[in-house]
Amino acid sequence: MASLQHSILPSIPHKFSPSNSSQGNNASSGKKVSVLVRAERVSSAATASCSSISVQDGVARRQLLALGVSIPGIFLFTDTPISFAAESKKGFLPVTDKKDGYTFYYPFGWQEVAIEGEDKVFKDVIEPLESASVNLVPTAKEDVREFGPPEKVAETLIKKFLAPANQKTKLIQAKEQDVEGKTYYTFEFIAQAPNYTRHALSVICVNNGKFYTLTTGANERRWGKMKDRLYTVIDSFRVFNA
């Protein structure tokens, strides 16, 4: 674990965690947050069927998701070299970062926001504890197993970076998975604040000189409803040589 703490962990900024404030409000936490404005193009068929609903409205997005409605033909654009594909999994949108070499799904209706220190962040506009954030830092390691077993690595990351120091944390489980020659550690944990508890999932991997961390979660009171979606986010994360 000494190698983990000295070669990677000091380089990781404090992760985006809505639990840094009592209600998950980034503005009150003092972090610089800017919402990325995105252009959206909806196909004529989707526009006709949803003419009375604004796809930019957070409530409408949640209603569509709850009804299982998917709107095809949505393309998102930013000023970063990231390719967004059309929705290909019901209830989710894929994002592929060709520059940094990773891809994953996030729930349809979540909004992209810019958080200092994070490579990519998506969050629900109504439930601030529901989010997914990607962080990456350089590493000389070639495999995540070089940092130690899943439980030890997970405990260190949770205590030092994935939850505020004043919150009580508990690692529920951690496991190793090999996919297409790459090793991923996935783990589940709880971070308890005075007035709420966040139930979270993380996946980490090393590839092409980068240490990747994707973390997602929800308020404990919504865990039963959200856990399948959050597991889809974690299980969809893949790295590749950019």
Residue 158: HSE in the Cβ half-sphere, 13 Å Cα cutoff: 28
Average pLDDT value for residue range 146-173: 96
Instruction: Return the pLDDT at 88.
Output: 65
Predicted pLDDT at 70: 33
Instruction: In whole angstroms, give the CA distance from residue 27 to residue 15.
Output: 15
pLDDT per position as a tens digit, 162-213 = 999 999 999 999 999 999 999 999 999 999 999 999 999 999 999 999 999 9
Q: How many CB atoms within 10 Å of residue 6? A: 10
Per-residue pLDDT at 60 exceeds 50:
no
Mean pLDDT highest for which of 10-19, 26-35, 221-230? Answer: 221-230
- Check whether 218 has a pLDDT greater than 80: yes
Whether residue 59 is predicted with pLDDT greater than 50 in this model: the reply is no
Q: Which CA distances in Å does 157 have to 91, 131, 196, 203, 215?
A: 30, 18, 21, 11, 11
Q: Please state which of the ranges 21-30, 107-116, 162-171 shows the lowest mean pLDDT.
A: 21-30
- The answer to whether 201 and 187 have CB atoms below 8 angstroms apart is yes
Can you give the pLDDT at residue 45? Answer: 39
Q: What is the pLDDT of residue 180?
A: 93
pLDDT in the model for residue 199: 98
Residue 48 is predicted with a pLDDT of 38
Q: Is the pLDDT of residue 77 over 50?
A: no
Average pLDDT of the residues of the chain: 76
Residue 38, pLDDT score: 40
Confidence label for 6 from pLDDT (cuts 50, 70 and 90): low
